[in-house]
Amino acid sequence: MREDMEEINAAGEFDYQLLENLEHLVHILTPVQYVSIILTDAFLYKGKEVAHIIGTTEASVHANVSRARKSLRKYSPVSNAKSGTSGSVDSLQADPVIATMLEGFRSKDPEKIASVLHEEIQTEIVHSGLEIGLEETKRHSLGDWYQIVQDQQAIIGEYRLLWGAPVIVELEEKEDGKRYLNNLHRIEIEDDLVISWRFYCFSWDLMKQAAEELDVELNAAYFYHLY
């Protein structure tokens, strides 16, 4: 398998299907899960080798690969964001953990959101940074979010299927009755707690495309605080 990959690279050919599949993995998995499953399933490294490469234990590698496979079985591949496929946005039934997060967004209550986060949660601000652990997430991402939404009007949280992947859509409903997109959130739940939280407010192109799919506008005031 490693030799085959080298031949593909040497040929200089660009496989768009491969790129789409890799992008699907990025959307579905945490960074550690992504690296672990690529090294084990694509490059055929052993668990011990992967553990050495990424600086963790072999047991942790096996756990991350197992979680990754579970996630990939659950979700169908993400459609190309530029395809504009009709029916690509649908409402989903929220389980208790999702429902708690949605209520936390709507009530602007960071403690309610934090109540369903795992102590060792990985919070990824895509294209910006990674926070490890509940306390760091509360101190930074949740703290920053709370400061921003205090100046906003009604916050709407919805659980939707967007491009084939489940997301929490965070919007502000203003006095004009229109809804404006604040952020997109992807989470992974294990044992009734969120172990991975990824959001995309710094992914400008993706956010613009998502706003079009959702038939709303981007929230200029929200992004002013970020940029």
Tell me: the pLDDT tens digits for 203-223?
A: 878 888 889 889 999 887 665
Q: φ and ψ at 202, to 5 degrees? A: -95, 0
Q: Over the stretch 20-30, which tens digit does the pLDDT of each residue have? A: 566 667 777 88
Fold of 89-226: Nuclear Transport Factor 2; Chain: A, (3.10.450)
Q: Dihedral sign, CA of 200, 142, 161, 188?
A: positive
Q: Do domains 2-74 and 89-226 have the same CATH topology?
A: no
CB count, 10 Å around CB of 25? 19
Q: Which pair of structure tokens corresponds to residue 170? A: 């965070």
Q: Over the stretch 80-127, which tens digit does the pLDDT of each residue have? A: 443 443 345 667 888 899 999 999 999 999 999 999 999 999 999 887
Q: Does domain 2-74 have CATH number 3.40.228.10?
A: no
Cα–Cα distance measured from residue 81 to residue 108, given in angstroms and rounded to the nearest whole number = 29
- Nearest one of 59, 70, 55, 65 to 34, comparing CA atoms: 65
Cα–Cα distance measured from residue 56 to residue 74, given in angstroms and rounded to the nearest whole number = 26
Domain boundaries of the chain, sorted by first residue:
2-74, 89-226
Q: Over the stretch 6-47, which tens digit does the pLDDT of each residue have? A: 433 444 443 444 555 666 677 778 888 889 988 988 888 999
